Homo-oligomer: A and B are copies of this chain.
Amino acid sequence: MPVRLDAQDPRFAEGFEGLLHAKRETSEDVQALVAGVIDAVRKRGDAALIDYTARWDRQTLTPATLRISQEEVDAAVGQCGGDLLRALDTAAERIESFHRLQVPETTDYRDAQGVRLGARWTAVGAAGLYVPGGTASYPSSVLMNALPAKVAGVERIVMVVPTPDGAINPLVLAAAKRCGITEIYRIGGAQAVAALAYGTETIAAVDKIVGPGNAFVAAAKRLVYGTVGIDSIAGPSEILVVADNRNDPAWIAMDLLSQAEHDTSAQSILITDDPAFADAVAAAVDRHLETLPRAAIAGESWREHGGIIVVRDLLAESPALIDRLAPEHLELAVEDPDALAAKVRNAGAIFLGRYTPEAIGDYVAGPNHVLPTARSARFSSGLNVLDFMKRTTFVACDAESVKAIGPAAVTLARSEGLDAHALSVALRLPGGGQG
């Protein structure tokens, strides 16, 4: 049974802490193995990639067949139904147009002292996108990871996707094609991350690696961080639904299950102000679980990690709870969702109102579905265009403006005992170096 808490209960704080800090992730210790794989790829390049792929994906490759050809991609697209391709296209268009609004502008101005100042943004040179194989191979993830890079202007986007026993989801290749990705390698695991980070004879290194993966992929990304940039390491998915009793309990129950079905470690929590509505949602969850294909996963997630919190006043009490939970997804199924959203600080993405199920955001709404998990919405953001760009500031002084601001720099540098700093400014002042 999911945890049920009443905010009026004297032991509520304790129960809430339990919900907050329950360890859901099973941390496999794969670091040593992964370090060995990375080392092998650095030393032996393609040969190591080919060996690991034979061992783990049961695929015999050569340097020439590491890459998935354009013909294979086109054949895969041909296998997808028209409805599916149209849905993919709708999603891609909406994601792209939302992300296009995130492209930052250059600033460039001269201040009152005559100093020219500014900052410009440039795209990362090359980005690598990891796409899992098997059942977790989601075309929607390809769109969500690749389109921000494309909108950012990344010139080279490389995709890696393992094809265990030769199997690949054709819609994943269709999604890659829709994003304009032409460089795709049939490799996965830590070895694929190592190839992207360090390069091999066939695969040139990239500057940044993004995309979801299993424990091996996550460990590899941690280990190559610094050599390349990485996105955040995603934990199990989470949803927090705040709902009054004017919702259909069946809708809210399905929203809770839509996260629960991802993974037995996922967490779905409901906050409501009506104990009877809480009961109705709990009953609707049980009813849905009778027919849902992924009921085994969703049911375990709900029983082990789910929660129902009853408060008196949603607008007054839930913001503090939301901010502490800092949920990846926050659904506000209340009469005035804006009033509640305005009081919230920490959430990855907010779904406003009764007609905005979280799943609409997983596919077609437009905002990214790669969002901060495990309370990291307190300090981090969902994947976006800025993750594929970097900011270079610039300064230009002339003989006059360095005279205006230089003396303060000289004073501070001297006080810090950094005389070469002080002198490099002082040399440019009248009286050079004696100033």
Question: Which of A's residues lie within 8 Å of B, judged by CB?
Answer: 83-84, 86-88, 90-91, 94, 97-98, 101-102, 107, 111, 115-117, 119, 122, 124-125, 135, 138-140, 171, 207-208, 226, 228-229, 233, 248, 250-251, 254-255, 257-258, 260-262, 288, 292-294, 298, 323, 337, 341, 344-368, 372, 374, 376-382, 384, 386, 390-399, 401-402, 405-409, 411-413, 415-425, 427-428
Interface centre among A362, A418, A420 (most CB of B within 10 A): A420
Complex: A52 Cα to B395 Cα, angstroms: 43
User: Are A420's CB and B258's CB within 8 A?
Assistant: yes
Complex: A378 Cα to B292 Cα, angstroms: 46
User: Are B255's CB and A424's CB within 8 A?
Assistant: yes
User: Are B350's CB and A394's CB within 8 A?
Assistant: yes
User: Are B293's CB and A419's CB within 8 A?
Assistant: yes
User: Are A355's CB and B409's CB within 8 A?
Assistant: no
User: Are A261's CB and B421's CB within 8 A?
Assistant: yes
Q: How far is the CB of A284 from chain B (nearest CB, A)?
A: 11
User: Are A355's CB and B420's CB within 8 A?
Assistant: no
User: Are A427's CB and B101's CB within 8 A?
Assistant: no
User: Are B115's CB and A405's CB within 8 A?
Assistant: no
Interface centre among A122, A372, A390 (most CB of B within 10 A): A390
User: Are B360's CB and A402's CB within 8 A?
Assistant: yes
User: Are B341's CB and A394's CB within 8 A?
Assistant: yes
User: Are A412's CB and B363's CB within 8 A?
Assistant: yes
Partner of A362, one of B115, B116, B409, B419: B409
Q: Which residues of B contact A292 (CB under 8 A)?
A: 419-420, 423
Complex: A254 Cα to B171 Cα, angstroms: 58
User: Are B352's CB and A423's CB within 8 A?
Assistant: no
Q: How far is the CB of A145 from chain B (nearest CB, A)?
A: 15
Known contacts A139-B415, A350-B395, then 15 further A-B pairs from the complex at CB < 8 Å, ordered by chain A residue? A87-B409, A87-B411, A90-B408, A208-B379, A251-B427, A255-B424, A348-B392, A355-B402, A357-B425, A359-B421, A363-B412, A364-B406, A364-B409, A377-B390, A384-B391
Closest to A230 in B: B379
User: Are B395's CB and A367's CB within 8 A?
Assistant: yes
Q: Which residues of B contact A363 (CB under 8 A)?
A: 408-409, 412-413, 421
User: Are B115's CB and A366's CB within 8 A?
Assistant: yes
Closest to A419 in B: B293
Q: How far is the CB of A352 from chain B (nearest CB, A)?
A: 4
User: Are B122's CB and A345's CB within 8 A?
Assistant: yes
Q: Which residues of B contact A139 (CB under 8 A)?
A: 412, 415-416
Q: List 15 A-B pairs, Cβ < 8 Å.
A: A87-B408, A102-B119, A208-B379, A228-B378, A292-B420, A294-B418, A294-B420, A349-B394, A350-B392, A352-B395, A355-B397, A355-B399, A355-B401, A359-B425, A367-B393
